[in-house]
A and B are shown apart, each in its own frame.
Chain A
Amino acid sequence: MKHSVNRPPTPDAAEDQGKEPTLQEIINIKLIESGEKERLMELLRERLIDCGWKDEMKALCRAHVKKKGRTNVTVDDLVHLITPKGRASVPDSVKAELLQRIRTFLMSAAL
């Protein structure tokens, strides 16, 4: 059976069931459409580099790969490894700044 790469997926049946989008969904879409999400992502990347978080995570990954061997590690392993530590070690100031930005955005977007 030959699949065309350009064929868009068939419309989801779930949409017809009138499923209510959650608030999280709505906010996410608003963020993406206005381009704010990209800006926030870029800001977050900058902040996490500045405070050394990225280097810490990189070091963790390196250590893991050294232990396990280069060919025995997958991206999924690494994501699994650093996700809990990464989430826990984001500095509070960075969290606060991002939250403030999102709050400001939501107020201006008049949700």
Chain B
Amino acid sequence: MSSKINGHVSPQPCPHLLDFRSRNGPKPFRALHDCIRVKPPGGCAAIRREPSEVPRCGTCEESSRSRLYACVACAAVFCHAPLLHSHASDHALSIPGHEIAVDVDRAELFCCACGDQVYDRDFDAAVVLAQTVNATATTSTSGSTAMQCSVAGSQPENLRKRRRVDYRPWEPDSGEHISRGNQSIPLLDATNASLVSSTQQPWGLRGLNNLGNTCFMNSILQALLHTPPLRNYFLGDRHNRYYCQQKNGAINGTKNSRLCLACDMDAIFSAVFSGDRTPYSPAKFLYSWWQHAANLASYEQQDAHEFFISMLEGIHEKVEKDKRKSQSPGGGDCCIAHRVFSGILRSDVMCMVCGFTSTTYDPCVDISLDLEPNQGGSGKSSSAKSLNSCNVEADCMHPNQNGGISTLNGCLERFTRAEKLGSDQKFFCQKCQVRQESLKQMSIRKLPLVSCFHVKRFEHSSIRKMSRKVDRFLQFPFSLDMAPYLSSSILRSRFGNRIFPFDGDEQDASNDLSTEFELFAVVTHSGRLDAGHYVTYLRLSNQWYKCDDAWITQVNESIVRAAQGYMMFYVQKVLYYKESENQGTS
């Protein structure tokens, strides 16, 4: 049987451990379970018979030794310092069957005869359970410190295993130089001045006319027009609208069969990247989308996020109809929309009584994040209260909360935090065969090519029968590393070197690509819920451009940083080409 620790196969038990297990029944460490104590500041597990016990070596009486081990067979505590004196080894060698001990300060099993750590599945499961229960207990009251400390930690090593070739910018060799000169026309040339504006704006920047409260659509379209993989797909003629329409006309002559959002997208891409700078009216697209989402067909203001989702669905549906086979969206092979945006979320629900965990995987095209309910660091004040000593704890515990400002990383941390499901949401545990209180934790199993983060600014309260908008400022980074939110990181950072009590395919599909992302588009909303306006900021050639319907202006990055983000689009860094500053002035 091979058990896994963080995806690696755990070492085989030593002969002493096997011997111990065989002599002491199916759960040889069960008596230790009651002695597992989790210490509040760090969430580390220790072994104490009484909570206030001060362990000391039975032979030399010292309690200040750095390694103290309790014999699992007789509960006697001994110190272990192999070079000086090891009373633990003395004990182990003197009485057969007493080789296995447990480190009292680390709750790790140790074989005193072999001088090495050993692992037991059930014992580790019990420790994990105790740590989990403790972490959420402090979360619900004072804002967990252990969680935040360790989640913000180092990058998991298994993501770096694959050796990648370093990026080198392409330089044409002599042959390519020649053919380049012969057949190509410079894109930005003085002679093309009629097409290209004198301000040397980048390609693909074109205003979109507002057709009647359609800023929700314009803002999303602008973001999608500059989503690198999507842009490449359409500009690379991967969905040719003429061919597609011809094919549809041949199959079924009715109007509905010619409805294809991807074709309309293709048309918009052609128009926007044509070089023509006059504002474009996406009327055909609007009409097509109305036909797809009939319930939203009106000139009323709509939610940009809702539009985004419905659009992706529209592109996916059409493909399904064509191919007549339903591929799982998580696989990303079904259509370009999912290929670009679809990732996989992992949800672990753990029974707090027996530790049994049920894991499910769901595809998602974006992540909706909640803003903090109250102002500032909700964890900060109460954690200072619970630790009645000087402010070093409060300072060092919250590296991500910059004096109370909400950040995107903070939201992601909260998204991946273990939360206790309320008593009215008890989960049916397979093992206990009854509804029990449970812990739920989300993490990301597979990262998409483009991560879209949606900030839940529109609150619809069915209780009070009203909706309101949350204007709270959210700070978002221009470069984002998603490593701490991956399933492997989340699980590893909490439980460290333990055999996981739950089985799951620990191999992250995201091993293929890196976890670093670059921001390229921000959709912002200003105004009230019923009367507001969407504007998109795009990052091209390291410059920011404000796309306000038909008006495109270049803006300073500080404007973007201060904007009220509603949807943020990040693309994998490897797909993001930072064009050189002096584009077109060669």
- Asked if B64 and A25 sit within 8 Å, CB to CB, the answer is yes
* A38-B41, A71-B11 given; A9·B116 CB < 8 A: no
Residue of B nearest to A46 (CB): B396
> Among B67-75, B219-227, B343-351, which stretch is in contact with chain A?
B67-75
> Which listed residue, B63, B67, B72, touches A25 by the CB 8 Å rule?
B63
Q: A42-B42, A43-B392 are in contact. Are A80 and B82 (CB under 8 A)?
A: yes
A69 within 8 A of B: no
Given A5-B31, A74-B114, answer yes or no on A43-B396 (Cβ-Cβ < 8 Å).
Answer: yes
Please give the distance in Å from A66's CB to the nearest CB on chain B. Answer: 14
The count of chain B contact residues (Cβ–Cβ below 8 Å) is 40
B156 within 8 A of partner (CB): no
B2 to chain A, nearest CB (A): 15
- With a cutoff of 8 Å between Cβ atoms, the chain B residues found around residue A3 in the complex are 73-74, 97-98
Q: CB distance A9 to B77 under 8 Å?
A: yes
- Complex Cα distance A38/B67, Å? 15
In the assembled complex, A93 has its CB within 8 A of some CB on chain B: no
**A70 CB to nearest B CB, Å:** 8
- A41 touching B42 by the CB < 8 A rule? yes
- Kindly provide the distance from the CB of A67 to the nearest chain B CB, expressed in whole angstroms: 17
Q: Is the CB of B64 within 8 A of A8?
A: no
The 0/1 profile, CB within 8 Å of A marked 1, for residues 512-553 of chain B is 000000000000000000000000000000000000000000
Q: Is the CB of B75 within 8 A of A5?
A: yes
**Is B387 touching A39 in the complex (CB atoms < 8 A)?**
yes
Do B97 and A39 touch across chains, with their CB atoms under 8 A apart? Answer: no
Mark each residue of chain B from 64 to 101: 1 if its CB lies under 8 Å from any CB of chain A, else 0: 10010000111111000011000000000000011000
A39 touches B393 (CB 8 A): yes
Are B61's CB and A12's CB within 8 A? yes
A9–B91 alpha-carbon span in the complex (Å): 13
Does A103 touch B at the CB level, under 8 Å?
A: no
Asked if B194 is at the interface of the complex by the 8 Å CB criterion, the answer is: no
Q: Counting CB contacts under 8 A, is A36 at the interface?
A: yes
A89 interface residue (CB < 8 Å to B):
no
CA A30 to CA B41, docked complex, whole Å: 18
How far does the alpha carbon of A77 sit from the alpha carbon of B116 in the complex, in Å? 9
Q: Which of the listed residues B49, B54, B117 has the most CB atoms from chain A within 10 Å of its own CB?
A: B54
Tell me the nearest residue of chain A to B145, going by C-beta. Answer: A42
- Whether A33 contacts B97 in the complex (CB less than 8 A), given A5-B73, A7-B74, A42-B42, comes out as no
Given contacts A33-B54, A71-B11, A74-B115, contact A38 B64 (CB under 8 A): no
- B40 proximal to A (CB < 8 A): yes
Contact indicator B74/A28 (Cβ below 8 Å): no
Tell me, yes or no, whether B384 is within 8 Å of chain A by CB.
no
- Smallest CB gap from B114: residue in A: A74
B389 within 8 A of A: yes
Given A8-B49, A39-B389, A43-B396, A76 contacting B116 (CB threshold 8 A): yes
Interface assignment of B52: CB less than 8 Å from any CB of chain A: yes
Which residues of chain B have C-beta atoms less than 8 A from A46's C-beta?
149, 396
A73 to B117, CA, bound (A): 10
Q: Given B63, B389, B393, which contacts A29 in the complex, CB threshold below 8 Å?
A: B63
Cα distance A28–B61 in the bound complex, in angstroms: 13
Q: Are B77 and A38 in contact (CB under 8 A)?
A: no
Chain A's closest residue to B118 (CB) is A75
Q: Which residue of B lies closest to A39 (CB)?
A: B41
Does the CB pair B54–A6 fall under 8 Å? Answer: no
Q: A32-B54, A76-B116 are in contact. Are A45 and B31 (CB under 8 A)?
A: no
CA distance A82 to B33 in the complex (A): 31
* A residues near B114, Cβ cutoff 8 Å: 74
> In the complex, which residues of chain A have a beta carbon less than 8 angstroms from the beta carbon of B64?
24-25, 28
- Can you list 14 A-B pairs with a CB-CB distance of less than 8 A? A3-B73, A3-B97, A5-B32, A19-B61, A24-B64, A29-B54, A38-B39, A39-B41, A42-B42, A45-B42, A71-B11, A75-B117, A76-B115, A76-B116
Going nearest first, the 6 A-B pairs with the smallest beta carbon separation are A74-B116, A76-B115, A5-B31, A42-B41, A42-B42, A9-B76
B residues with a Cβ closer than 8 A to A are: 11, 31-32, 39-42, 49, 52, 54, 58, 61-64, 67, 72-77, 82-83, 97-98, 110, 114-117, 149, 153-154, 387, 389-390, 392-393, 396
* Known A24-B64, A75-B115; further 7 A-B contacts with Cβ < 8 A: A5-B75, A7-B74, A19-B61, A25-B62, A33-B52, A74-B117, A79-B82
